[in-house]
Chains A and B, each alone.
Chain A
C-alpha cells in the first residue's frame, strides 16, 4: 500500500514539476489537473471522501475547464 501511495506522490510531484517546464500552457494545465486528480485520490486514501469528491469535481474538472477557456482566450504558448 505504502508503495502505491509513494508512487502516487512521486507522480504527483513529477506532474507538478513538469508544469514548471512545459512551454505549452495547455500541457501545464493538464499537468496541474493531474496533480489535483492524484491529490483527490490521496484524499480518498486519507479517508476524506467528501473532500475527494469536491477536489475531483471542482479542483480537477471545473478548474481545468476554466483554465482551458482562459488559455483559448489568450495565448497558448509561454514566451
Chain B
C-alpha cells in the first residue's frame, strides 16, 4: 500500500520535472556565467583548469564552506562517537606479511599520487578534494593492511587546523592587501600553464588537500577505532 502511494507521488513529481526539463534541453549552448568563466578565467585567475578557477576563485567562498562541512562532519562524527563506551580493546588480527609489505610499498606511492593531484589542481583535472581523498585512501590502506598501526591523532588535528587556517588567512590577506576583497587573488598570476602560476590557487588547493586528507583520515580513524 505504502509502496503504491509512494510510487504515485513520485510519479507526480516526475511529471512535474518532465515539464520542467522541456526548458532545459540536453547539450544546448552554455550559459552566460559559465561562458564568462571560460572566456576570462585564464586571464583573471591564471589557472588553465577552469573548474579549479571557479572552485577556488570565482566561487572560493563555496569551497571554504565545503571545507567547513567536511571539518564539521569530522568533528560531528567525533562528537557522536566520543561518548561511546568502548568494549575493551579491539582484537587485532595481524595481517599477512605479503599484505603488510604491499601496503608499506604502496602507501608512499599513493601519498605521492595524491600530492601530485592536488599540486597540479590548477593545471590538470583533480585538485585538493580528489588528492585529499586519495591520501585518505592511503591511510585506509594502512588501516586495512597494517592493522596494528595507528594514526597520530594530534598530528592529524594540527594538520587539519593549520590547513583550514591557511585558507582563511589567505583570504584575509586578500582582504587587507589585494583590492580589499576577501579571497581575492592577490599574488602574481605567473605564467599560464606552469606549476607556479595562478596566484593563491595552488596554495589554497594544497591546504585543501591536506585538510581533506586529514579529515577523511580522521573520519575513518574515528569510525574504526572509536566504535
Contact = CB atoms under 8 A, between A and B. Distances in A.
Direct A/B contact, Cβ within 8 angstroms: yes
Interface of A: 48-50, 52-54, 57-58, 61-62, 65-66, 69-70, 73
**Size band of the B side of the interface?**
20 to 34
A61 B137 contact: yes
Contact of A57 (B49, B130, B223): B130
B133 A49 contact: no
8 contacts: A48-B51, A53-B125, A58-B130, A58-B216, A69-B223, A69-B224, A70-B223, A73-B223
B138 to A, nearest CB: 11
A61 B130 CA distance: 11
A13 to B, nearest CB: 14
A50 B127 contact: yes
Contacts, number: 46
Contact of B133 (A48, A52, A58, A70): A58
B183 interface: no
A69 B220 contact: yes
Interface string B136-153: 110010000000000000
